[in-house]
Structure 1
Amino acid sequence: MQNLVEQPVGIIGGTGLMALEGLQITGERSTANAWGIPSSVLTSGLLGQQNVLFLARHGNPHRIPPHQINYRANVQALFDAGVRTLVGVNAVGGIHPDMGPAHIVIPDQLIDYTWGRSGTFFEGELDNVTHIDFTWPYNESARAILIEQAERLGLSFSSHGVYGATQGPRLETAAEVRRMERDGCDLAGMTGMPEAALAAELGMRYVSLCLVVNYAAGKTDTAITMADIQRAIDDGMVAVKTLLKDSVAGLGALQTKA
């Protein structure tokens, strides 16, 4: 049986994070499972002294749209490789006025607006119906580690926020964003679900690390352009990578806890 201390921390990279700089690569593996083929190979290595497994959510190159990602294959592959603490990095739109481009958010809640995605491992020929407690979708111990390191680094970040998961791949309308704001959403993203729920079904510690890459539709008087989004990614992703590098040791230490 694999020693818990040796279990890797998993990182799923989204838009702007298709590879993890600073990772001392020790291997790559292509792996399929009962749910199909993951978006990319699993890249294993050391980030500092911590074992890490990295997966590019949209593939590398970036080619799989949010609604066609095989979330089940991705999460299962990481679980099968020993990951029990998983960080999902998400590029999002900012709804809350304090969450503008290049701002980092470590959300504590989410609302799911997606539809038609394969969002559970519990289907098909089951012995019994299974319901998971999803009251708190993000692991508080993992969130605390990211928050502590973000504070230490002096980053511009928010320690709480509600992630609204939309279907994509199109961006939202201004009316949709107004509805999301009335619902209590602070962020609009396309990949937060069903990833978080699948991790919960497998008993993994899941945390989201969000980079705001644009103000959501209707929050400014200007159109959202991919050039503006890319600039925010370029400006903010350095801080995201630094935060990951400084947090993985603490996240890895969670592996020894029940």
Structure 2
Amino acid sequence: MVKTAIIGGTGVYDPCLLEDVREIVETTPYGSVKVSLGKYAGMEVAFIPRHGLEHSIPPHLINYRANIKALQQLGIKNILATAAVGSLHFEFKPGQFVLADQFLDFTKNRGSTFYEGGEAGVVHCDMTVPYCPELREALVKAGRELEIQVQNGGTYVCTEGPRFETAAEIMMFKQLGGQLVGMTSVPEVCLARELGICYATVAIVTNFAAGITTGILTHSEVLELMKRNIELARSLMMSSLKYITEEKRCNCRKILDEPGAMK
């Protein structure tokens, strides 16, 4: 059974490095999802391109619930995701890999829970440590093995998009403790937690956010830096697979012990 999935963000659109790749369509109550299944070093891995194969889906219109539900239906226990982010601090430089450990949510119009009352019930999900510490440690070990510098820890500010942020917004986020800014980690991480799936994000810093340096921000700038770093990101995630253990001590799956939680 497939245990681990990769959700590819901006610049990560195909299941490169996987062998014997096949595509399936998984039907969920929230919509159908195309999932690629393949093998890496004998391990089965699932892959979903978050924005579609042609980057045709903007962050505020991604069907996050369908994606995460499809992975749960396939038996996924671990999700490794990539995300292109801007930096709010000079110590987080373009090209750097950061494993987010907290988030600030500034999204507005997204389906952000599986529990909307009625038959679905109401469950209040603990998010004290939203990003799985054990998956992050597996990525850190892979980074050491590959001699890739990985920063374990950073607060991810998630905005609605698709526009970039104003300089005033970035100043506010910085004062609130934000260190990275992106448009996709929420509600993805929250939905994974609601289903008891361990989740980690490899945030790839592509630029300094608005007002941190002079000049305007462009999407082409983001794509260009992602292109230069994509092979390293893929190698980091794939090398981390062997460090992901079957039995975990994290609290990610404890939500399933709550009355009414989706098993």
TM-score normalised by structure 1 residue count:
0.92
Residue 236 of structure 1 and its aligned partner are, at CA, apart by 1.6
Choose which of 11, 14, 30 in structure 2 pairs with 1:16: 11
1:88 lines up with 2:81 in the alignment: yes
CA distance in 2, matches of 1:241, 1:127: 36
| 1:204-223 alignment runs, 5 A limit | 204-223=197-216
The residue that corresponds to 1:54 in the other structure is 47
Q: 1:25 to 1:214 in 2, by over 3 A?
A: farther
| 1:17-166 alignment runs, 5 A limit | 17-38=12-33, 41-126=34-119, 128-166=121-159
The residue that corresponds to 2:246 in the other structure is 255
CA distance in 2, matches of 1:74, 1:167: 18
CA distance in 2, matches of 1:57, 1:169: 14
Q: What residue ranges of structure 2 are gaps of 5+ in the alignment?
A: 250-263
Residue 152 of structure 1 and its aligned partner are, at CA, apart by 2.5
- Tell me the secondary structure at the aligned position of residue 197 of structure 1: helix
CA distance in 2, matches of 1:110, 1:94: 14
- Tell me the secondary structure at the aligned position of residue 30 of structure 1: strand
CA distance in 2, matches of 1:53, 1:127: 27
* Residues 84, 222 of structure 2: 8 Å contact kept: no
- Structure 1, 63-72 or 97-106: larger mean CA deviation: 97-106
CA distance in 1, matches of 2:31, 2:117: 15
Q: 1:234 to 1:120 in 2, by over 3 A?
A: same
Identity of aligned residues (%): 35
- Tell me the secondary structure at the aligned position of residue 150 of structure 1: helix
- Tell me the secondary structure at the aligned position of residue 246 of structure 2: helix
The residue that corresponds to 1:199 in the other structure is 192
Per-residue Cα deviation, 1:132-184 (whole angstroms, up to 9, x for no partner): 11100011111111012112322233111000000000010111111100111
Per-residue Cα deviation, 1:199-242 (whole angstroms, up to 9, x for no partner): 00000111111111111111111222233222211222121011
Q: Which amino acid aligns with 2:49?
A: A
CA distance in 2, matches of 1:240, 1:249: 16
Which protein has the bigger strand share? 2
Q: Which amino acid aligns with 1:201?
A: E
CA distance in 1, matches of 2:31, 2:141: 37
How many residues align structurally? 249
Q: 1:225 to 1:127 in 2, by over 3 A?
A: closer
Q: What residue ranges of structure 1 are gaps of 5+ in the alignment?
A: 1-5
